[in-house]
Structure 1
Amino acid sequence: MKMEIRRVQMTGGASFVVTLPKDWAEQQKIKKNDPVGIMIQPDGTLVVTKKITEEPDQRTKEINCSTITDPAFLFRMLIGAYITGFNVIRLTTKQRFSPFVRTGVRDFTQMTIGQEIVEETDTVITIKDLLNPAEMPFDNTIKRMFVIVKNMHEDAIAALETHNKELAQDVIVRDMDADRLNWLIARQTNMIMQNTSLSRKMEISQSLAMHYYMLSRIIERVGDHAVRIAEHTLPIVGADIDKKILTAIKKSSTLSLEIFDRSIVSFFNTDMKEANRNIESISALENICGDINNMVLRQDTMIAINIGYIAESIRRSGEYAGDISETVINLLIENEQGPHKKKTGK
């Protein structure tokens, strides 16, 4: 879109005036004496909008289920509509819904936050978002994700050490808790990008919202690796694993989680130096995981393969935590004062 350059004029000796583009005003159906809203953004830019109320835009997504036969495809469409910020999702069909549609809708409402079925007939199902985005601050969601994922990793390692099959299976189930919070942050980020008034209401800039979204994606991936550790624990539950290997696994896991913990702390403390030190510590983790891979060569094939995958997931978790520290540095370079610090006047 081409930028229009307009000169600032002065009227009455005190007020600065800039005219609005005629094409834009006509497209928005703005007439003489109509009010418009002007919002100052954190980066100093101004947003001019016809919308002057705080009420969020009501966006509806229509999904015709008449030609959908794949339950997984339907679920992905529902998640896509949720993440992109639609307030209402309306499913229709020419004849009665197939049973998998109703099952998929119920799974969707249970796996997402704030989605409720408000209408259900033979040919129409309406899902409405009942959550006020401002009631779920980004900080709280990220901290909750971190606790969930960290506990998943710890329990996956404990399941390996104690031969606890049920605990490993529980880790796999808990992954959905991390996923639903990641989807929520993705949804809120998209809504903020579409609605600048929501950005102001939640007291978060669009740029910072994107950093939170990147952070949630990384934490979700750490959770995925906790699941992989649990999955590769199940085939070797009860196996006779060399105690030296278990000790090395526990050591690498502890270091990986320490990097993960410090990366989150550096984000909330806006500590660039700590974030940099955290990245430098990843090489020690890689060395330990490399030693584990060498040690398992003396084990049975089944044990060696699964321990190798477990060590790989521990290493990858630490590297993802390093990515969080890199995100912290990028954010603080962009905003030297830090995203959580406010300017004070004299």
Structure 2
Amino acid sequence: MEIRKVQITGGSSYIVSLPKQWIRSANIQKNDPVGLVVQPDGSLLITPKISGESAHRTRVFEVGAATDRTYLLRLLVGAYIAGFTTIRLESKGRMPPFILQLVREFTQMAIGQEVVGETNTSITIKDLLNPTEMPFENTIKRMHLLARGMQQDAMAAIRGQDTALAGDVVVRDTEVDRLHWLVARQDNLIANDATLARRMGIPATRAAYCFQVSRIIERIADHATRVAHNALLLIDRDIEAATLDLMDESSALALQIFSWSMEAFHTGDVEKANTTLQRVRDLEEMARDINTRVLRFDAVTAIPTGQIADSIRRIGEYSGDICESVINYTVGQTA
């Protein structure tokens, strides 16, 4: 940190000289304007970005016939989440067909990504989404509703032995993933551009908090997907009615805890978050009861049933993590 003294000029104006190294790196010339942004913690941000537009960043990947498909997809997702506005794939020869197919899959998964240029040796993907049009709160509400519906349908598939419904739950997990990627991307954009935080009306600390909650919801959806996969293993398997009832009851409690935790998140209600945390213990007791019951089942039935009980418990515990985040964040914001 450089320490510089505040001086007074003209009897009323306070001035501070700017570091020469920063001036040169930002290519600021005499009489160029700079923006001043007061931060929530009272600090002052000086930025050469005064147009209100985010900086355009490009990431280039060299690809070819030997490129690993899974690795490339991870690179594309990583570049998207990192906040690059343009992603370009370049090949020394003709672009392999599997790369073209992978790009199509990526643009369907990642919100706002579109192919804007294509030749025999290159593909250009551009972000067409305005971050300010997708508020964090709305995205997280959508994720909550999707994850909740997935778990409800996964449990319905168990009781109804509905293969199609269980399969649909698995497919819907992709929608939750793409919304989580969007939240992660916006969090990174705000971390790299304080003016974007101002335009979106959300402090960087709040964006990081939303990302943390989004990540937990994505994991809850993963467990709903796990329940659906295990539901498929229980097709044509007989489970006693009392155990099914207990599984439904525990899932309903887990989802109630999930909903209460999200209410606490949206309202910043610390007391509700604390009360909700106490209900997680009740859910854990119900999950142990199910695991005790499945000891009487044959292995083919017991294993997926036990895994379902474990996922239901984890949904409740992850919801408890949301409550803890609410308490930590809200208390930290209270002066």
TM-score by length of 2: 0.98
CA distance in 2, matches of 1:314, 1:139: 25
Q: How does 1:178-189 map to 2 (within 5 A)?
A: 178-189=176-187
SS state at 1:35 partner = coil
Partner of 2:210: 212
CA-CA distance at 1:313 after TM superposition: 0.2
SS state at 2:116 partner = strand
CA-CA distance at 1:235 after TM superposition: 1.1
Q: Deviations over 1:279-331 (max 9, x none)?
A: 11111100000000001111121111110000000000100000000110111
8 Å CA contact retained: 1:156, 1:229:
yes
Of the candidates 158, 170, 180, which is equivalent to residue 160 of structure 1?
A: 158
Q: Is the alpha carbon distance of 1:36 and 1:178 closer, same or farther for their aligned partners in structure 2, counting shifts above 3 Å?
A: same
SS state at 1:281 partner = helix
Of the candidates 48, 51, 62, which is equivalent to residue 50 of structure 1?
A: 48
Q: Is the alpha carbon distance of 1:57 and 1:232 closer, same or farther for their aligned partners in structure 2, counting shifts above 3 Å?
A: same
SS state at 1:204 partner = coil
- Is 1:11 equivalent to 2:3 in the alignment? no
Q: Deviations over 1:32-68 (max 9, x none)?
A: 3221111111221111112211121111110100374
Q: How does 1:89-168 map to 2 (within 5 A)?
A: 89-168=87-166
8 Å CA contact retained: 1:68, 1:74:
no
Q: Give structure 2 stretches of 5+ with no counterpart.
A: none
Partner of 1:63: 61
CA-CA distance at 1:225 after TM superposition: 0.1
Of the candidates 260, 263, 275, which is equivalent to residue 258 of structure 2?
A: 260
Letter of the structure 2 residue corresponding to residue 80 of structure 1: G
CA distance in 2, matches of 1:69, 1:21: 45
Letter of the structure 1 residue corresponding to residue 182 of structure 2: L
CA distance in 2, matches of 1:68, 1:199: 41
Letter of the structure 2 residue corresponding to residue 64 of structure 1: E
Q: How does 1:148-297 map to 2 (within 5 A)?
A: 148-297=146-295
CA-CA distance at 1:256 after TM superposition: 0.5
CA-CA distance at 1:121 after TM superposition: 1.3
Letter of the structure 1 residue corresponding to residue 325 of structure 2: T
CA-CA distance at 1:163 after TM superposition: 1.0
Letter of the structure 2 residue corresponding to residue 136 of structure 1: M
CA distance in 2, matches of 1:33, 1:219: 49
Partner of 2:25: 27
Partner of 1:344: none
8 Å CA contact retained: 2:110, 2:178:
yes
CA distance in 2, matches of 1:275, 1:108: 37
Of the candidates 297, 306, 309, which is equivalent to residue 307 of structure 2?
A: 309
CA-CA distance at 1:205 after TM superposition: 0.7
Partner of 1:88: 86
Q: Is the alpha carbon distance of 1:311 and 1:331 closer, same or farther for their aligned partners in structure 2, counting shifts above 3 Å?
A: same
Q: Is the alpha carbon distance of 1:119 and 1:314 closer, same or farther for their aligned partners in structure 2, counting shifts above 3 Å?
A: same
Q: Deviations over 1:190-215 (max 9, x none)?
A: 11111111111100111110000011
SS state at 2:306 partner = helix
Letter of the structure 2 residue corresponding to residue 315 of structure 1: R
8 Å CA contact retained: 1:81, 1:89:
yes
Partner of 1:321: 319
Q: Give structure 1 stretches of 5+ with no counterpart.
A: 338-346
SS state at 1:10 partner = strand
SS state at 2:64 partner = helix
CA distance in 1, matches of 2:124, 2:185: 19
8 Å CA contact retained: 2:64, 2:96:
no
CA-CA distance at 1:7 after TM superposition: 1.8
CA distance in 1, matches of 2:166, 2:191: 39
CA distance in 1, matches of 2:130, 2:32: 29
SS state at 1:125 partner = strand
Partner of 1:300: 298
SS state at 1:63 partner = strand
Letter of the structure 2 residue corresponding to residue 267 of structure 1: F
**What is the percentage of aligned positions where both structures have the same residue?**
49
Q: Is the alpha carbon distance of 1:275 and 1:68 closer, same or farther for their aligned partners in structure 2, counting shifts above 3 Å?
A: farther
CA-CA distance at 1:259 after TM superposition: 0.7
Q: Deviations over 1:60-101 (max 9, x none)?
A: 110100374211111111111100001011111011111110
Partner of 1:77: 75
CA distance in 1, matches of 2:255, 2:32: 57
8 Å CA contact retained: 2:173, 2:225:
yes
235-244 or 138-147, which moves further after superposition? Answer: 235-244
